[in-house]
Structures are given as C-alpha cells and as structure tokens.
Structure 1
C-alpha cells in the first residue's frame, strides 16, 4: 500500500512567531499519527539551483490521510498562528 507524504519548504520570516506555529503543528502531527521524517536540519544542494531552505517531510499511512491532514481543525489552528511568520511551499505526494 502506498504512503502519503507532505513535503514542505519553508522560509521563516519571523522566528519567534514561527516557534508558536511549531508548537501547534507538532500537536496536530501527533494527533493525526504522522511520522516526522525530516524537520529542519542541514540541507546541501547536490544538483541544480534549488534551495529549499527549511525542509519538512511528514509520512502518513496513505495519500488521502496526508491530504486530509492539511484541513484538520488542529492543523488549521497551526496555519492561523503561522500567518506572517513564514513563506510556506507545501505539496502532498504519494510514495512507498
């Protein structure tokens, strides 16, 4: 069965406010049983000119579960807290 992943590239513009988002997003992640594969950490570009900045990868049991996470009440709360604190680029990807 295929898993679902949320992959995000984040440019943090207001670090203190972003920390509040991290608190709420962690609660949402834990509530919905996502596995945190990557959350921040070192990034090194190996090919091309892509610079994803802060990278986050979350693993869910299915694509549908990953997609649904974005619209849960818990994550909506986190998104509201994040407004103005970061530029978020996020995709949902089906994987193995």
Structure 2
C-alpha cells in the first residue's frame, strides 16, 4: 500500500544545515524508492494558517518509508541537519 512521508518545518534555525541535509536526503530517499511530489511553502493556508515549509514524498509502502528513514544514507542526512531545524515528520498509509 502506498505511503506518504510528510515533513513540516516549524522553524529553520540554521539554513546551511538545512541545505546540507537536503543535498543528502533527496538522493537517499529516492534511492530507497521515494518520489518527491511537493516541497515548499503553502500557496494558501486555512484554519490555523501556519506558513511552514512542507515536503511530501511518496513511497511504495510504509515499510519502504521506514527502511528509507533507517538507511545509513538518510541517517547521514539527519546528522547533517543536527539542530538546524525544528520539524515534524510522519509516514501515513494511503487509503
């Protein structure tokens, strides 16, 4: 079953670290079967109106997304991010 990896950046504390993370994370997630669908700031907000950078990656399954997260390549990306942002990341299964 398809899964969605959703990351929201609540606060960017060090743009250089975020950039270093992005350079490593994208190829790591793509190599693990992820496809980037969207990333950036919202074009429109409703309700809480939070203007947070959001990234949406599609994986073939929840298991594939978990494996991508736990992979050495993605762990290297997380190490590069170390304290550079406050984020929320979740994986949800498609309906």
Q: Is the 8 A contact 1:9 1:52 kept in 2?
A: no
Where does 1:1-96 land on structure 2 (aligned, <5 Å)? 2-10=1-9, 11-46=11-46, 48-51=47-50, 53-96=52-95
CA–CA distance in structure 1, aligned partners of residues 43 and 27 of structure 2? 25
Q: Is the 8 A contact 1:6 1:92 kept in 2?
A: yes
Number of residue equivalences = 94
DSSP-derived class of the 2:48 partner: coil
| Alpha-carbon distance, 1:50 to partner | 5.0
Residues 10-55 of structure 1 show CA distances to partners (whole Å, capped at 9, x for unaligned) of 1221111211111010120221121101121434212x21516010
Judged with a 3 Å threshold, the aligned counterparts in structure 2 of structure 1 residues 52 and 67 are, in CA distance, closer, same or farther, namely farther
Q: Unpaired segments of 5 or more residues in structure 1?
A: none
Q: Unpaired segments of 5 or more residues in structure 2?
A: none
DSSP-derived class of the 1:70 partner: helix
Where in structure 1 do 4 or more consecutive aligned residues deviate above 3 Å? none
CA–CA distance in structure 2, aligned partners of residues 50 and 87 of structure 1? 18
**Root-mean-square deviation (CA), in Å?**
1.5
CA–CA distance in structure 1, aligned partners of residues 57 and 22 of structure 2? 14
